[in-house]
């Protein structure tokens, strides 16, 4: 059975458009592709650029840039109806999109939740992806897959910023405060009923070295943070469930 899609050829680079929401072109990747194409120029014929009816690039924007820089003809296949979702699917099985790629894409499309993510990730309160998702989603935590599908929901951005600020404030007394297990243990503590950030700040300042070690598990950090919070406190306040606090 013959291929219904025709491979076309052009030297008119300006005819191609970037689809709104696609990830930005990475110069380092373009450089690698240029070297690969120079070593095998025929590859651009059997690996054409994929575009939709508007000549928006669905797959191959890095290849297109490399071809332009090498001043070669562009080989492309046009398939009507393709959109941003298809870009993400195609890239997920080749050079995987990173969280920042998804965030920039959804933010460009007007999703303010991903704008919040970018503001924090590129600002003063940057954490690893999983921790940052938890601080932003709070009562509605999501998986990485849901994040990639555009389902991030930031219900209380000022509160998220406050909690991140608290983490960074006490972080000056524990250099590994950005690791996932510590950041999530602190989030659990800081969102517990009766928590006092002023007390925790002073306790970390004066007693963090007494109780904190380099743990790998969130639960161990949570237990240590409880001990720091309650050290020399007349009325003890234990956060978390008894099971969670078991050593």
Q: Which of 49, 41, 37, 36 is nearest to 10 (CA)?
A: 49
Tell me the C-alpha distance between 128 and 158, whole Å. Answer: 20
User: Encoding tokens for residue 102?
Assistant: 């998804």
Q: What angle do CA 176, 179, 184 make, to 5 degrees?
A: 115
Instruction: Inform me whether the pLDDT recorded for 99 exceeds 50.
Output: yes
Instruction: Inform me whether the pLDDT recorded for 95 exceeds 60.
Output: no
> What pTM was estimated for this model as a whole?
0.63
Element (H, E) at 179: none
Across the chain, mean pLDDT equals 86
Residue pLDDT, tens place only, 14-61: 999 988 777 788 899 899 899 888 877 777 876 788 888 899 988 888
Tell me the C-alpha distance between 29 and 25, whole Å. Answer: 8
Q: Which of 172, 102, 112 is nearest to 136 (CA)?
A: 112
- How many Cβ atoms are within 10 Å of 96's Cβ, its own excluded? 9
Helices (H) and strands (E) in the chain, counts: 12, 5
pLDDT interval class at 2 (50, 70, 90): very low
Residue pLDDT, tens place only, 123-152: 988 898 989 999 999 988 888 888 888 899
Question: Is 164 within 8 Å of 120 (Cβ atoms)?
Answer: yes
Q: Which of 142, 134, 103, 99 is nearest to 119 (CA)?
A: 103
Residue pLDDT, tens place only, 163-195: 999 999 999 999 999 999 999 999 999 999 889
Question: Is 107 within 8 Å of 114 (Cβ atoms)?
Answer: yes
Element (H, E) at 138: none
More confident residue, 210 or 239: 210
Q: β-strands 74-78, 7-10: how paired?
A: antiparallel
């Amino acid at each position: 059975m013959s291929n219904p899609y025709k491979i076309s050829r052009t030297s008119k680079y300006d005819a191609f458009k970037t689809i709104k929401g696609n990830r930005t072109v990475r110069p380092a990747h373009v450089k690698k592709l240029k070297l690969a194409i120079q070593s095998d120029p025929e590859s651009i014929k059997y690996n054409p650029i994929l575009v939709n009816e508007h000549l928006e690039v669905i797959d191959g924007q890095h290849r297109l840039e490399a071809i332009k820089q090498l001043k070669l003809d562009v080989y492309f296949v046009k398939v009507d109806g393709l959109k941003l979702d298809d870009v993400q699917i195609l890239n997920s099985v080749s050079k995987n999109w990173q969280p920042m790629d998804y965030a920039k894409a959804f933010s460009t499309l007007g999703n303010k939740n991903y704008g919040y993510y970018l503001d924090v990730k590129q600002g003063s309160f940057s954490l690893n992806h999983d921790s940052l998702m938890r601080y932003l989603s709070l009562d509605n935590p999501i998986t990485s897959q849901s994040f990639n599908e555009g389902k991030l929901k930031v219900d209380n951005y000022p509160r998220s910023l406050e909690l991140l600020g608290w983490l960074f404030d006490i972080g000056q007394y524990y250099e590994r405060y950005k690791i996932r297990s510590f950041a999530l243990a602190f989030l659990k503590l800081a969102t517990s009923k009766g928590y006092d950030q002023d007390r925790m700040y002073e306790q970390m300042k004066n007693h963090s070295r007494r109780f904190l070690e380099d743990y790998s598990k969130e639960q161990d950090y949570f237990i240590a943070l409880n001990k720091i919070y309650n050290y020399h406190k007349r009325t003890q306040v234990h956060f978390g469930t008894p099971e969670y606090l078991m050593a």
